[in-house]
Structure 1
Amino acid sequence: MTSLIKMFVLIILLSSSALISLTDDNNYLDININYLSTGYFDNKKVVDDLIRNKELSDLINLNEFQKVEKELEKIKSIKSIDVYRNNYLQLDIDIKDREPIAFIRELNSYMDSSGVIFKKYNSSIDSIPEIKGIITDGEEFKILKVIAALENDDFFENKLKSITLKGDDIYLNIKGFDFDIRFGNEFQLKNKLNMLKGFYIYQFNNSSNKKYKQVDLVYNNRLIAIKN
């Protein structure tokens, strides 16, 4: 009788261990992808597909999370990614996308506020300005300064339509302005914007004034308006 009881207890213990092991294994396979971005791109599905491939799946099973992160960071539209196991041994992946501030037509790519350029795929963002022309090495930072100056100005915020690169000069196209703006370089930004703002307000309040095809801001402390 005693032997029978011992055997019964042993069976219960073995069954419990198997159940616990099965539960842990299920948790171990659970994957939570936490999307921390505003949704410019759909990298959640891309990451989910990649981590189920054998190469990354094997790395995950070995807890080689840094190697997994390095592989996933090859997706240029991802700004940061963190792979780890939570307290329940479930796999957590935190994704933060880059936020594009301009579309580069020549490269069919986006640029973010750090100057990182990454390819445009299926998504299209109409609310950001377009950059036309060829960007040479280091020129993206000059463009970033101009875009930042416009976005930080209450009058020009969200009004930039496009930037065109012609030689050493930057040309702007701004919503509500019916003329081209030869902006020149990225220096004296505040002064240039103040002159442009004053000219626009003057034109707006004097509708009988002549129309202009271009405004030049390349001369020191001067605005030159070219008539049609």
Structure 2
Amino acid sequence: MKKYFNWKNIRLVLLIGLVGFLFSFTGKRNENRKLTKAEVEFEVGEQLFITHETVNKLLIENKKDASSIRKVALDLNNLENAINQHAMVETAEVYVSVDGLLKADVKQKTPIARVFEYQESYYIDSKGTKMPLSDIHSARVPILSGGDNVKDNEKLNELFRLIYNDDFLKKNIIGVKVLPSGSVIMKNRNYDYDIAFGKTIQMERKFKNYKAFFQKAVLDSSIQKYKIVNLKFTQQVVCTK
């Protein structure tokens, strides 16, 4: 019996083999290529608390020149973890572009309060975690005093997030003091009165009342007369001269 070769199947096998060879060859060649350079990019609009140079050193593992590093020698997960462990960084993504650029996209932590604790000073970020002060920029955030264990106090963290995310409050509230009872007293940037905020409950309602009071009191100039603005009663604002 004669055997007939199926040339179509043979060509298909040869073609698959050729593609596999070229893919393997190209991949191996690509791995052995050296990087062109390293680049660090921070989220748009962020005020920098950490320098490009600091992140760049982590990115190229303290080598002086990224172009001396081969792609095959890179461990992107380790590089990403090293940057993420930096006390100023919230998240980082590290990757290599087609043209050999080693890139790190970095989002910094967002400070929302500054704590003075004994002889130590640091920020609390938007996630409620500790963030060191920066040598290159000082954040304009309220100063917290008396708030022991603020890092574990979700209500206080929520209070500072409300202040940070509101343009009016962010501009006007410069200090927050927590009393032993848990009540909160705040200071305004431009006026000498104390804001008796009370406990950290119904916070959005209290801030809404305060903004309404402020707008009216500024218009009739009565704001200059007050020593205490009491927000404890959510149905009204009680002022003491």
**Is 1:41 aligned to 2:49, yes or no?**
yes
Tell me how far 1:93 sits from its aligned partner. Answer: 2.1
| TM-score normalised over the length of structure 1 | 0.71
- How far apart, in 1, do the equivalents of 2:161 and 2:208 lie? 15
Matched residue, 1:195: 209
Matched residue, 1:28: 34
In structure 2, the CA distance between the partners of 1:120 and 1:59, relative to structure 1 (3 Å rule), is farther
Matched residue, 1:96: 107
**Is 1:81 aligned to 2:92, yes or no?**
yes
In structure 2, the CA distance between the partners of 1:104 and 1:40, relative to structure 1 (3 Å rule), is farther
- How far apart, in 2, do the equivalents of 1:48 and 1:209 lie? 51
- How far apart, in 2, do the equivalents of 1:119 and 1:59 lie? 34
**Is 1:165 aligned to 2:178, yes or no?**
yes
Q: Tell me the SS of whatever aligns to 1:145.
A: helix
Q: Tell me the SS of whatever aligns to 1:35.
A: strand
In structure 2, the CA distance between the partners of 1:120 and 1:156, relative to structure 1 (3 Å rule), is closer
Q: Could you list the per-position Cα deviations for residues 59-97 of structure 1 after superposition, in whole angstroms to 9, with x for gaps in the alignment?
A: 975332112221222212111122222112332222222
Answer whether contact 1:82 1:95 (CA < 8 A) is retained. Answer: yes
Matched residue, 1:144: 157
Matched residue, 2:62: 53
| TM-score normalised over the length of structure 2 | 0.68
Matched residue, 1:14: none
| Counterpart residue type for residue 124 of structure 1 | H
In structure 2, the CA distance between the partners of 1:218 and 1:94, relative to structure 1 (3 Å rule), is same
User: Once superposed, what is the RMSD of the aligned Cα atoms?
Assistant: 3.3
| Counterpart residue type for residue 121 of structure 1 | S
Answer whether contact 1:59 1:65 (CA < 8 A) is retained. Answer: no
Matched residue, 2:136: 123
Tell me how far 1:100 sits from its aligned partner. Answer: 1.9
Q: Could you list the per-position Cα deviations for residues 173-218 of structure 1 after superposition, in whole angstroms to 9, with x for gaps in the alignment?
A: 1233330112122221233224323443454344468833222323
Gaps of 5+ in 2: 1-28
Percent identity between the two aligned chains: 23
Gaps of 5+ in 1: 1-20
The structure 2 residue matched to 1:183, chosen from 190, 197, 205, is 197
Q: Could you list the per-position Cα deviations for residues 36-66 of structure 1 after superposition, in whole angstroms to 9, with x for gaps in the alignment?
A: 2323223321122233437xx9997533211
Shifted more, 145-154 versus 85-94: the winner is: 145-154
- How far apart, in 2, do the equivalents of 1:128 and 1:210 lie? 24
Answer whether contact 1:59 1:67 (CA < 8 A) is retained. Answer: no
| Counterpart residue type for residue 128 of structure 1 | V
**Is 1:114 aligned to 2:114, yes or no?**
no
**Is 1:63 aligned to 2:74, yes or no?**
yes
Tell me how far 1:139 sits from its aligned partner. Answer: 4.9
- How far apart, in 1, do the equivalents of 2:114 and 2:148 lie? 12
- How far apart, in 2, do the equivalents of 1:195 and 1:212 lie? 16
Ranges of 4+ aligned residues in structure 1 off by more than 6 Å: 57-60
- How far apart, in 2, do the equivalents of 1:138 and 1:118 lie? 10
In structure 2, the CA distance between the partners of 1:91 and 1:130, relative to structure 1 (3 Å rule), is same
Aligned length: 203
